Amino acid sequence: MLYDKARIFVQAGHGGNGCMSFRREAHVPRGGPDGGDGGHGGDVVLVCDDSMRDLQSFKRRAHYKAERARHGEGSNRHGADGETLEVKVPPGTQVTMDDGTLHDLTIPGQRVTVASGGTGGRGNKRFAGSTRQSPRFAENGLAGEERWIDLRLKLLADVGLVGLPNAGKSSLLGRMTRAAPKVADYPFTTLEPVLGTLDGENRQLVIADIPGLIEGAHEGAGLGHDFLAHVERTALLVHVLDLAPLDGSDPVDNFQTIEEELRQHDERLAALPRIVALSKADLVAPERAEEEAAAWRARLGDDVPVLVTSSATRQGLDELALELFRRVPVRERVDVTSVEGEEALAEHMVFRPAADQGFHVEQVDEGVFRVTGPPVERLLARHDLENEEALAHIEHRLNRMGVIRALEAAGFEPGDDVEIAGMMFELHPG
């Protein structure tokens, strides 16, 4: 069974805590602070791996957690960074983040960071200065990012076979390629997309047999709805049309049904080049097959080739193969390591928006104020609130950030209570 959807939880590693330590050595009467910094937590990175074919591995495991960083130590020893967790996904995977951001992993080796590790805390050595020569506090490491992400596999095929159930798509794929799809004389024999490779003299084409569509497929009817996404990446569609439907339906109506379902799913599909393959020609008289082909050519025009085919006798299959190679453009290879006219970058560079520097002050009650915003919440998360020196440092940083001025503008007076990140403080600035 093809697994083309998965929802997983990713959690980056926690940053290491900074160390509070003082140098103590023989014959060194005034050893200063020497606490090292904590390391950076490990990231969670998705890596496009050509050895994978579907998302089945994510059905057995849904939680992925990167390694946390080591804490800083004395003698200015910094903590080791957490190891990056690499999660392999097959080519064609589309990643949807919790904020709606989309990532497409189509080239083997492509990487995308889906959860960044927490930054490490600074040791007390970093806070030493002319006015504070022996700081007795250090920063805590921050927690890494964590979120649920959705994975969706969209097959990387050059050609997609579409049509009603029992139109002859599986038989066509089996005779033209080395694929071995299940073939039977009842509808919905194909329960999942099947890929086959068509070999040419100098190139290959990947052909996908998409499970049969029925009317209303774009709204969830039948089995084809779940697999319509797999034809989105194809360069060409082959509409397989039964010349003699067993149910006595009109081939023209059948053609319009499939075309409408494709258009309702994605307007791009309606604009893709088409080839119409009239299948099961061995079940009708040759004269009738040619008459039907002529009628379809007149109906669709010169831009849509119409071929009479038979998987049983291989009639028209060689002509169809030549037409596919002629109409599917050659995919250009892109060198991801360098760009013409520019030097190759030493490493992959990621640019992210800067962290939100804003905060908001509001009065919630008489003598009670609330301060919200990522900067002040990160500041409190960094420090031990039981440490008096750390509290004094927090108050100093709040003043430098302009929080105290904003509180005074809102009516704050020394001794009033201030709530930050769910914790209540009694501030006495100055």
- Mean pLDDT over all residues of the chain? 83
Domain 1-153 of CATH type 2.60.40.10: no
Phi, psi angle pair for 290, to nearest 5°? -70, -35
Which residue ranges does the chain devote to CATH 3.30.300.350? Answer: 360-426
- Cα–Cα nearest to 18, from 152, 128, 106, 154: 128
Supply 129's token pair: 């200065």
Give residue 189's pLDDT: 46
CB 227 within 8 A of CB 194: no
- Cα–Cα nearest to 211, from 198, 197, 221: 221
Dist. CA 91–CA 129, nearest whole Å: 53
CATH number for the segment(s) 360-426 = 3.30.300.350
Give residue 336's pLDDT: 41
Give residue 346's pLDDT: 47
Which residue ranges does the chain devote to CATH 2.70.210.12? Answer: 1-153
Give residue 180's pLDDT: 58
pTM for the full predicted model: 0.70
Supply 311's token pair: 């998987």
Give residue 126's pLDDT: 92
Could you give the angle at which helices 374-382 and 388-401 cross, rounded to 10 degrees? 160
Give residue 348's pLDDT: 54
CATH number for the segment(s) 159-327 = 3.40.50.300
Q: What is the mean pLDDT of each run of 10 residues along the chain (430 residues)?
A: 83 96 78 92 94 85 96 94 95 91 90 95 92 91 96 84 83 78 47 74 81 52 54 85 81 86 78 91 91 92 92 92 88 44 48 65 90 90 90 88 89 88 78
Supply 390's token pair: 């750390």
Which residue ranges does the chain devote to CATH 3.40.50.300? Answer: 159-327
